Structure 1
Amino acid sequence: MDLDLALLNDKPTTITDKSNEDKKSFHKSWELSNKLRFMFMRMIVANNIKSTIPQAESSREYLKFVEEHFRSIDKSLNGTLMDELTTMKFYGSRSMQNYIIEMTNIAARLWTLGMKVNDTFLVQFILNLLTLEYGPFQIKHNTIKDK
């Protein structure tokens, strides 16, 4: 169905009476591709986001608007996740396992946004934020690490 035709090609020039059959056929295929692609993209974008994206003539322009919108959201989310990662403390109100899983989940979300958190750094960071009762555990880890 050539659904990607409108994304891969610029809008064709308008058809005139002198246009050959190939141009007419391409123009018709491009228009159909653009309408279908645009309809699919509008269907999957959340309603609260749709209202912030201006109307576009082509699916390619619409996709550019969405990309620009989310680029700024990604930067904001990076900052929020980094803040959450660096200020999270273990107070013992939840299990150690849940604390570690939450920290690694934040690191994984940062990685999907393009910020790689080194595993060694993350382990040391988690250990440094533990309460004093985990001091022997920290010492044991540092001893094993140095061997």
Structure 2
Amino acid sequence: MMFLVITVISTFVLSNESSRIPFLNGDNFSDWKDKILLTLGCMYLDLALYVDEPPEPTVKSSIAEKSSYDKWKRSNRLSLMLIKSHISQSIRGSIPPSDKIKNYMRTIEEQFVSSNKALASTLMNKLSGMKHNNSKSVREHIIEMRDIAARLKSLGIEIF
């Protein structure tokens, strides 16, 4: 009975939290990563990200060792499924497959470090070349500039 209640609650949390994760589409890596990590943490599925894979149990393994391995394996499998389901098809094809969530996340991060540098350069050029041209209000122009500055800040570049 208790397992059924936990399963129902986990399913609710999964559907609720995963609906808030944006699809990784190339220019939203930081936001996507933050939401993925939050969701995995809320669902208690982040174990495989922070703990190395325990040795595969044998016949002589204790119940605790078997349980530890099963928890890690479940965390790894469900984390991979959740992450892969929130990556656009065009990007997913360029990421080498992995059966370990830790390696998969590292590969994704490596691909987007250079992408973030290019995005930061593009945003800096856009911000430095912006001029108000009466096509919109001054307020809208300032809001657009603040939005670019906020995006740069999320990439580690702070504009004062």
Place the TM-score, normalised by the shorter chain, in its bin.
0.7 to 0.9
Coordinate RMSD, CA, aligned: 1.6
Query: What is the one-letter code of the residue matched to 2:100?
Result: S
Three-state SS of the structure 2 residue aligned to 1:44 is coil
Structure 1 segment 85-100 matched on structure 2, within 5 A: 85-100=127-142
Deviations 1:23-72 (A, max 9, x none): 11111111111111111111112222211111012111111112222222
Corresponding pairs, count: 118
- Pairing partner for 1:4 from 46, 51, 58: 46
Amino acid at match of 2:130: M
- In structure 2, the gaps of 5 or more residues are 1-42
Structure 2 equivalent of residue 61 of structure 1: 103
Give the Cα–Cα distance (whole angstroms) in 1 for the partners of residues 65 and 97 of structure 2. 27
In the alignment, the residues of structure 2 paired with residue 23 and residue 76 of structure 1 have an alpha-carbon distance, to the nearest angstrom, of 46
Listed one character per residue, the Cα deviations across residues 73-94 of structure 1 (whole Å, up to 9, x for unaligned) are 1111100000001112222233
Using the TM superposition, name which of 23-32 and 92-101 deviates more: 92-101
Cα deviation, residue 2, structure 1: 4.1
Is 1:104 matched with 2:126? no
**4+ residue runs of structure 1 moved beyond 6 angstroms?**
none
The TM-score normalised by the length of structure 2 is 0.67
Offset at residue 10 of structure 1 (A)? 0.8
Cα contact 1:56–1:62 (8 A) shared by 2? yes
Does the aligned pair in 2 maintain the 1:2–1:29 contact within 8 Å? no
Percent of residue pairs bearing the same amino acid type: 40
- How far off its partner does 1:95 sit? 2.3
For 2:142 and 2:46, the matched residues in 1 are separated by 43
Show the counterpart of 2:38. Answer: none
Q: State the one-letter code of the partner of 1:106.
A: I
Does residue 76 in structure 1 map to residue 134 in structure 2?
no
The structure 2 residue matched to 1:34, chosen from 67, 76, 79, is 76
Which structure has more relative contact order (CA 8 Å, sep 6+)? It is 2
Distance 1:92 1:115 in 2: 29
